Structure 1
């Protein structure tokens, strides 16, 4: 589990990017061009539209010994599924979440992101 940042806006609004480093993303070398470029869901390969796609943020990938950037995006159902899994994984090992989930910034960011994709 890596760093989680709060979504800057609701999915589908102009200029907003939902950035959440979830559990590991698929290896970009094993994905189709549409998935690497963000035209298809990184997990299920469904075609995406700009109004509904969730931007997972630009990532670095090692391509032929040089750093390359790729732009994974996902559909709402896959986003919800992976955010939910990340929240369950986090909350089971987070003492702050066990006491009061409102005090944990990571747990709060995951819950806000889940509401965005719901």
Structure 2
């Protein structure tokens, strides 16, 4: 009898731990991570592509929000200089950016109760 109570209380503590871990991924925290990522990647793109910081922030926002007007083409210069750098930094960075955006959208949907996991 004592072991069953211990196991159930252990399971309750595990559930509370999971709930507390989920609470730290509030939409504002993920949004802050996304903003820091966007601004730091924009600085990288501005340096590599020799465009203004404002243009690189604009191009990054348009790319990560999947609007894609096509008026600013980033990774033009770096692609010509070395395809390996373009592949590793360009695609890897964009994949991480899209992962952060999808986590942000998912956390907002969960917060408003539209999507529950």
**Which TM-score tier does this pair reach, normalised by the shorter chain?**
0.3 to 0.5
- Structure 1 or 2: more strand by fraction: 1
TM, length-normalised to structure 2: 0.32
